[in-house]
Every structure is written in structure tokens, then in C-alpha cells.
Amino acid sequence: MSENKTTKAVGDSATAVKDRPLLEVEGLTKHFPIYGGFPFKRQVGAVQAVEGVTLDVFPGESLGLVGESGCGKSTTGRMLTRLLEPTGGTIKYEGRDITHANRRELAPIRSEIQMIFQDPYASLNPRQTVGKIISGPMEINDINPPGGREARVRELLETVGLNPEHYNRFPHEFSGGQRQRIGVARALALEPKLIIADEPVSALDVSIQAQVVNLLQELQRERGIAFVFIAHDLSIVRHFSQRVAVMYLGKLVEIADRDTLYSGPRHPYTHALLSAVPETDIDVQKRERIRLVGDVPSPIMPPSGCRFRTRCWKAQDKCATEEPPLVQLSGNKAGHLTACHFPEDPTIDVGARKEDVVMDPALRSLEKDAKKS
Amino acid sequence: MTSPVQTEDTSVPGGNGPDALTKDGAQETKTQEGLSPGQLMWRRFRRDRTGIISACVVIFFFAIALLAPLISKVYGKDPYTLYGQNSLDLLNEFNMPAGSFGGASGSYWFGIEPNLGRDVFTQLLYGMRTSIFTALGATVLIVVVGVLIGLVGGYFGGTIDYWLGRFTDLMLGFPSQLFMIASMPVITAAFVAPDENTPTWLRAGAIIAVVGGLGWMGIARLMRAATLTMREREFVEAAKISGASPWRIIRKELLPNLWSPILVQATLQLPNTVLNVAFLSFVGVGFVEPTPDWGRMFANGADYIQLDPWYMLYPGVAMVIFVVAFNLLGDSVRDAFDPKSGR
Ligand SMILES: Nc1ncnc2c1ncn2[C@@H]1O[C@H](COP(=O)(O)OP(=O)(O)OP(=O)(O)O)[C@@H](O)[C@H]1O
Ligand SMILES: [Mg+2]
């Protein structure tokens, strides 16, 4: 099974990929209880934020985790860093089960898994100087680098492209992009093996996004740090990740290496996401458009069977009754797993289908009107 | 010093620093480099004239309280000697101050106390000293207990928060002034045999305990709410990920961010506590003779209000100035810390 569900990181990364995964996640589930009722509060339901996510992260690779807002990406990331207690499933780090490890048990590996946050304004303590912020993790873990912590902090500031003289400044004196760099420096302070980056650039100006992504990419290549790169936007992940996992409403629907996923998505949802990515290369063939209609269903009452079926143009009865397993479909490369009963053809060329897929009847009639006039 | 220079030195050779060149709000607000939030607050405070004046008044009161022994030495009197009994021309046949304005004169600035004939000026000096220091002690207790309970409840949440919350509600439900009056004798009786005199330090301790023990709930609730919003912030999560202990997070991450509400609450709390301490003495369960006390001066003054209203005047005016100045100071501190709130 495990050969079946993972793939080696491929692509242009110079990092050596070992066979044993750094992080093994199996059936990871998170339900947030909902309390209600009168006069006594009791649990009346649960937000099924993450449901049975299974994936591996290999040393030095970058795994992209994409999906629409609210599909449980952050929740997954927070469980991986053990900020949230998983409801079910297991997380193994270097073979050790850390699913329910407490703070003391986690101490030895705390320095190896770090996180970069989305909001550069909330992720730095406004009352601490940059030096204090970055040296904090070293202090907590009692790490004394040769030359002292201050020298190390200055070195880190330089690594992330900031002036080492900013050591004594406060966060409010920096711009968003600079703050995010400080956050990166803090994550690097413990020389981690794995960094969970939860939408690290989505709060930044577009012009700065690329710079921060480049910085992360440099770090990943030079230091061999594995990344779980969370984003809701496939174009940034394409730039950064060797493997991409697609989530929908708490579930993993497709996972594959980058080129396979971008050139031949099998899950309709992946396909739809891809068709929403704006074309950056002019010479790329025009892709068909797929517009998803409606909102993501509530994770409190997710649809039965395949969770995507309510918005899927291929949905049939089977999709409502039977949940599609995440497996390697025939014709797929090893490590390309898809959870779909009626997968797409592995192509995104226009030639494969004559018409655009437009889901909304209203939209369709609008388009007809537009053509007529 | 100016922004353009700073933006230049932020782009580091070798780094991909051009984002340092794109400006945003952070660049505009800074005036000088390296200003901590505390320094910024101080700058705002310095521009607030009401705040500065009331701070001066408050400091003046504290200086008087602190320097009472020195002042009375220079002035040449003490609050215990019965001057009116020793020299016969100070009190008239009804034991009221003989002179006008409550017997005020060059040697007895604020006049003479009716009946016993003590010096009002030194009595007020020492009375304020007793009251302010007791109130200071009680305020420290209130703030420490309130902050601790609020922080712990807010940070840990869950069952701990639930029970701390119910406890706070319970304490709030007490009619606190009645309870203070009722519990003072009980506390002193617990430590002192009936036939002994209660030492003054024990009285002070009991007052601090009662006023403090019944006054922390407001701050606890405020702190809890502030902590709740703070603990969701990502820098707290970052500290957790690095393996920080809850105690370290509370101390190093949360508390520094809560100093402003704590300071504001403490400044607003102190005048209240002074009033509460005075109230206890006024109703006769606080400090007793011969310890000079602000609150008891009101109690005594109330006895003579018909015959010698001057005796009440000085402690009264002093109290009003003190409380008003302190409240204004509290408002200014709040404005300085949080320029967005208020007017
Ligand atoms: N603490 C919580 N209590 C209850 N529900 C929660 C909590 N945190 C998240 N959720 C719910 O879990 C679901 C997944 O949230 P999550 O933050 O993981 O989404 P996301 O994929 O990161 O979205 P975004 O792209 O907007 O960041 C959402 O429906 C959200 O409402
Ligand atoms: Mg998120």
C-alpha cells in the first residue's frame, strides 16, 4: 500500500531524496465539536474539518497542499505541528508516533518541525525586538550556537535578506514582506528538517510574493529542508513544490508529482482548480475552462460518498453511495493517487473536449446570449 | 533618521531585498529608529497636557506621603501631640479651635483638631501616608490576583476557565462594602487574642486583604478577555511550536502585551482603593486611634461638621483633588497606550 500511495520527489530539486519518509501521516482526522442545546450544553455536531488525510513527506522535498478556502489545509498543517490535537489517525515523524505526544515527549523533535505563518502582522510579538523574536526558539531549546545567539541571529537575518543591524528593531518598523522574512528567520533558528508554511505569501503584495517564495526555495535547496507548502492558489505551488496534494472539504482528492498533476489531472476538482489558474505563458495551449458553481458544502454535514459530487459535472448515483478511495488509477504513474469513480482523461488540452465545461445553467444561458448578440 | 535613509539600508547586498523599497504603512508611522512600543506610548503621553498635569498632582501626593516625616520635622510638629491640651489658648471652652478658619495660623497651618487639639496639617500628612500606602498595597494585591486569575483562565480555557469564571462571579455577587465591614473584625480576631491590642501592621494587612480580596474581579475579567484574543495570535503559536512552556508563554509572550491594560486598570483602580480604605476607617473598622488616617479624619470631621466645618475641609479637598487627578491620569494613560480608543 505504501509504495502505492507515495512517490519520490521528482523534478529539478537538487536535494537527495531518501526512501524513508520524514513524516508519515495516516488517516488524519480533525472534528471540531459544536456545542448547543438548552439548558445544558452538549455536543450537537462536529465540523469535519479534516477527514482521513494520508500522505508522506520525504526529506528535503516540498509538498504543496492546495484547496479552496475552508477545506482544512490550515487545520492539517496545525495538526502536523501538533498545535491541534488530531481526532483520529496517526502522525509519525522519523518513524516515531507523535500523534498524541505531549509537550515533554515532543521536546526532542520540536526543533525539527517549524512553521511559517500566513499573517506577518500577527505572527511576530509586537513587544519583542527582532533579535528576541529570532533567538526565542534557541533560548527555549537551550541551544547555544558557537559565537553566541546574537551572532547567529545576525547571520540568520542576513540569510533571509535583512540587514543584521535590524537586530534591535521592533516588528512595527518593518513592512509585511520584511516581517515575513523575520518569521522565516525564526523558523530557521532551530535548523529544522521540516517547515510547514501556511500560506506564507498570501497576505503579501503580489510583487513581494515572488521574492519570499524565491527565498523559501533557495533555503529548501541549499539546506535540504522539507516543506509542506500550503496555498489556495495552484500557480505558486507549481513554482515551489515537487509534489502537490489537492484537498477538498477535508479530504485529499488527488496527490501527484507536480508535472503529472499539472499536465494530466485525473480528479475533476483538480481539473477545475487548474483551469482557474491564470495563464502565465502566452505560448501555452489554451485550456478549457471549468467553472465551479455554488459554494463548498458545509463541513458540518458533508455530502455522502464523494464530497465533491454536489459540484461535479460527472457525478452519478455511485458517487453518492460509495466513497471513492484514494488509489493509483490505471494509466497513472506510481505515486499519482486519485479519489474518483469517474476520473478525467489525463489531459487538459482543448482538443480532448469540444466545449468548455460550464456548470451553471444560468451562466450557460448568459453565454448563449453573449454569442447571439 | 528619515524614511528614505531607512529604506535604503534595509536592502541588503546579496539578499533579494527590493521589497524593502516598496513602502507601506509601517514606514510612515516611524519617526526614529528603534522605538519600542513603550517609547511610542511615552511620546504620545508627553503630548497630553491633562495627563502631564494630573501626573504631576499624583506625584505630588505620593511625594507628600513619602516625605511626611521629613516635612513634619521641618514644620516642627507631629500628629500625636495634643497641642490644644498643652497650651490653653488654642481651644475655646467648648473644646473647639479658638481661632478663625478652624484655628489656622502661622504655626498650625490647617488649624487644630477639635477636642483633642492635635495639629491638622501633620494629621493630614500622616493620614494620607497611611491611606495611600495601604491602598497601594491593596491595589498591588488586586492587580496581581486579577491578572493571574484572568491570565490563567484565559490562556488555559476549558475547565480551569469555567471554575475560575464561576468563582469570579461568586465574588462579584458579594455586597462588597457590607462584606468588608463584616469581615474586618473576623480577620483581626483570628490573629489577635481578645485581650490584646491589634498591632497596626496587622490592621493594615487585614485591610489590604479585605479590600484586595474583594476587588480583583473586574481586572480578572478584563485580563481574561484580553488574554483570549491574544492567545489566538500566531506569535503565541510560534512559541508553542518551539516548545515553550505555558508559563513561559504567559510571561514572555502574553504579559508584555498586556502591560498597557494592566497599567491602565491599576491607575484607575488606585483611587477607588483609596476610597475603599477610607471608607473602612470611616465606618470604624479600619485604622483606629492613634494611627493618623485619612478616612478617620472624615469620621471625626463628621462629628464636628456643625461646629467646625474647617476640620473636614482640608482632608476633603485633598481627597477630591487626589481622586480626580488619578482618574484623569488613568484616562490619559489609556489614551497614550491605545490612541484609537476614546475620543
Ligand atoms: N477552532 C475551530 N473550531 C471550529 N471550526 C474550525 C476551527 N478551525 C477551523 N474550523 C473549521 O474547519 C474548516 C477548515 O478550516 P481551515 O482553517 O483548516 O481551512 P483552510 O483550508 O486553511 O482555509 P483558508 O484557505 O481560508 O485558510 C473550516 O470549515 C473552519 O470553519
Ligand atoms: Mg488557512
Of the candidates A78, A119, A211, the beta carbon closest to that of B16 is on A211
Say which residues have a Cβ less than 8 Å from residue B237's Cβ, sequence separation at least 6: A78, A83, A115, A117
* DSSP code of residue B204: H
User: A12 lies in a domain?
Assistant: no
Beta bridge partners of A357: A290
Q: Please give the DSSP secondary-structure letter assigned to residue A193.
A: S
Q: Is the CB of A299 under 6 A from ligand 1?
A: yes
Helix (H, G, I), strand (E, B) or coil at A31: strand
Rounded to the nearest 5°, which phi and psi values hold at A341?
-80, -35
Residue span of the structural domain in which B166 resides: 127-337
Per the domain annotation, does B102 fall within a domain?
no
Q: Closest Cα to atom 17, ligand 1: which residue?
A: A74
B195: cell is 485581650
Chain B residues near residue A137 by CB distance under 8 angstroms = 242-243
> Chain A contact for B17, CB < 8 A?
yes
Q: How far is A105 from chain B (nearest CA, A)?
A: 10
Q: Which residue has the cell 536592502?
A: B11
Give the separation between CA B132 and CA A224, rounded to whole angstroms: 63
Residue B76 covered by a domain: no
What is the grid cell recorded at A50? 479534516
Question: How many Å apart are CA B2 and CA B8, to the nearest integer?
Answer: 11
Instruction: Spell out which residues of chain A touch residue B35, defining contact as CB-CB under 8 Å.
Output: 170, 173
- Integer Cα distance of A161 and A185 in angstroms: 10
CB contact under 8 A, A81 and B241: yes
If one residue of A75, A78, A248, A300 were mutated to test the ligand 1 pocket, choosing by the most ligand atoms within 8 A of its CB, it would be A75
Question: Which residue in chain A is spatially nearest to B37 when comparing CA positions?
Answer: A127
- Across the interface, whether the CB atoms of A211 and B19 are under 8 A apart is answered yes
Per-residue pLDDT at B223: 92
Identify whether A271 is part of a domain: yes
A351 DSSP 8-state letter: G
Q: Indicate whether residue A232 lines ligand 1 (CB < 6 A).
A: yes
> Hey, whose CA ends up nearest to atom 5 of ligand 1?
A32
State how far the alpha carbon of B168 is from the alpha carbons of B159, B164, B187, B217, B284, in Å: 14, 6, 21, 6, 28
Nearest atom in ligand 1 to A232's CA: 25
Q: Which atom of ligand 1 is nearest to the CA of A67?
A: 21
Atom of ligand 1 nearest to the CA of A84: 1
CB A52 within 8 Å of CB A112: no
Q: What is the CA radius of gyration of chain A?
A: 22
Ligand 1 pocket, A69 CB below 6 A?
yes
Which of the ligands is closest to the CA of residue A66?
1
Tell whether B6 is covered by a domain.
no
Q: Would residue B52 count as lying in a domain?
A: no
Residue among B10, B235, B240 minimizing CB distance to A178: B10
Geometric angle at alpha carbon B41, from B40 and B45, rounded to 5°: 120
Report the CATH number at residue A78.
3.40.50.300
Residue A34, classified by CB atoms within 10 Å of its CB into exposed (0-12), middle (13-18) or buried (19+), is exposed
pLDDT at B343 over 70: no
Whether A166 and B26 lie within 8 Å, measured CB to CB: no
Q: B19–A177: do the CB atoms touch at under 8 Å?
A: yes
Atom of ligand 1 nearest to the CA of A230: 22
What is the total count of domains within chain B? 1
- How far apart CA B318 and CA B315 sit, in angstroms, is 5
What is the residue type of B141?
L
Quote the ipTM score: 0.81
**DSSP secondary structure string, B245-278?**
-HHHIIIIIIHHHHHHHHHHHHHHHHHHHHHHHH
* Mean pLDDT for the stretch of residues B19-43: 56
Q: Would A123 be classed as within a structural domain?
A: no
- Structural domain range at position A307: 23-112+192-372
Q: Is the CB of A77 under 6 A from ligand 1?
A: no
Cα A76 to ligand 2 centre (Å): 9
Q: Return the SS3 of A369.
A: helix
Name the closest residue on chain A to residue B17, using Cα atoms: A161
Secondary structure in 3-state letters for A200-215: CCCCCCHHHHHHHHHH
**Which pLDDT score, from 0 to 100, does residue A373 have?**
54
The finding on whether A71 has its CB within 6 A of some atom of ligand 1 is yes
Distance between CA atoms of residues B77 and A156, nearest Å: 67
A110: left (phi over 0), alpha (psi -120 to 50) or beta: alpha
d(CA B110, CA B127): 14
The answer to whether residues A158 and B15 touch, using CB atoms and an 8 Å cutoff, is: yes
pLDDT at A26: 93
| Cell numbers representing residue A141 in the block | 531549546
Nearest CB partner across the interface for A205, out of B22, B233, B248:
B22
Q: Any idea what the Cα angle at residue A60 is, between residues A204 and A83, rounded to 5°?
A: 60
Sign for the pseudo-dihedral over CA of A215, A220, A225, A226 = positive
Q: Is the distance from the beta carbon of residue A30 to the nearest atom of ligand 1 less than 6 Å? A: no
Cell (9 digits) for B107 = 504655626
Whether pLDDT at B4 is above 60: no
Phi (first) and psi of residue A282, to 5 degrees? -75, -35
| Ligand 1 atom nearest to A299, measured from its CA | 29
Contacts of B229 (CB under 8 A, 6+ apart): none
The strand order across the sheet containing A88-93 reads A42-57, A23-36, A88-93, A96-97
Residue A134 and residue A171: Cα distance in Å, rounded? Answer: 11
Tell me the shortest Cα–Cα distance from A111 to chain B, in angstroms. Answer: 6
Q: How many CA atoms lie within 13 A of B21 on its CB side?
A: 9
The reply to whether A122 falls in a domain is no
Q: Put the strands of the sheet holding A327-328 in their side by side order.
A: A113-116, A194-198, A226-231, A62-66, A243-248, A251-257, A337-338, A327-328
Best B229, B242, B251, B254 residue to mutate vs chain A (most A CBs within 10 Å): B242
| Element spanning B189, H or E | helix B176-191
How far is residue B208 from each of residues A171, B139, B187, B278, measured CA to CA in Å?
40, 8, 11, 12
Instruction: Tell me A225's DSSP state.
Output: -
In this structure, is residue A203 part of a structural domain? yes
Whether pTM exceeds 0.90: no
Which amino acid, residue A216?
Answer: L
Average pLDDT over residues B274-296: 85
Of A132, A162, A166, nearest to A149 by C-alpha is A132
Residue A190: strand, helix, or coil: coil
Test mutation, A162, A163, A217, chain B, max B CBs within 10 A: A163
Give the per-residue SS3 of A114-148.
EEECCCCCCCCCCCCCHHHHHHHHHHHCCCCCCCC
B122 or B305: which leads in pLDDT: B122
**pLDDT value, residue B33:** 55
B195 inside 8 A of chain A by CB? no
Interface of B with A in 31-90 (CB under 8 A): 33-37
- Residue B289 identity (one-letter amino acid): E
Query: Do B223 and B155 touch, CB atoms closer than 8 A?
Result: no
- CB atoms A190 and B242 under 8 Å: yes
- What percent of chain B is predicted at pLDDT more than 90? 25
Q: Tell me, yes or no, whether B309 lies in a domain.
A: yes
Q: What is the full per-residue pLDDT of chain A (373 aa) written as tens digits?
A: 444 444 444 444 434 445 789 999 999 999 999 888 777 778 888 899 999 999 999 999 999 999 888 899 999 999 999 999 999 999 999 989 999 888 888 888 888 999 999 998 899 998 889 999 999 999 999 888 888 899 999 999 999 999 998 888 888 889 999 999 999 999 999 999 999 999 998 888 888 888 899 999 999 999 999 999 999 878 888 888 999 999 999 999 999 998 888 888 889 998 888 887 665 554 445 556 677 777 778 888 888 889 998 888 888 888 889 889 998 888 788 889 999 998 887 665 544 444 445 445 444 555 555 555 5
> What distance in Å separates the CA atoms of residue B172 and residue B290, rounded to the nearest whole number?
34
- Residue A285 is predicted with a pLDDT of 53
CB count within 10 Å of CB A277 equals: 15
Nearest to B134 by CA among B268, B312, B291, B330: B291
In chain A, the number of structural domains is 1
The length of chain B is 343
Q: Which of B30, B37, B234 sits opposite A127 (nearest CB)?
A: B37
* Nearest CB to B9 within list A163, A183, A212: A163
Of all protein residues, whose CA lies closest to atom 30 belonging to ligand 1? A70
DSSP A333: P
In a domain, A132, yes or no: no
Those residues whose C-beta lies under 8 Å from the C-beta of residue A16, and which sit 6 or more positions away, are: A59, A60, A224
For chain B, the C-alpha Rg in angstroms (whole number) is 26
The amino acid at residue A247 is M
The answer to whether position A197 is within a domain reads yes
Question: CA-CA distances (angstroms) from residue A11 to A17, A56, A186, A194, A260?
Answer: 11, 17, 28, 19, 11
pLDDT at position B82 is 75
Q: Is B239 on the interface with A (CB under 8 A)?
A: yes
Give me the residue label for grid cell 516540498.
A62
- What's the CATH code of the domain at B293? 1.10.3720.10
Give the residue among A237, A241, A275, A255 at the shortest CA–CA distance from A339: A255
CB nearest B19 (choices: A129, A140, A208): A208
B13 touches chain A (CB under 8 A): no
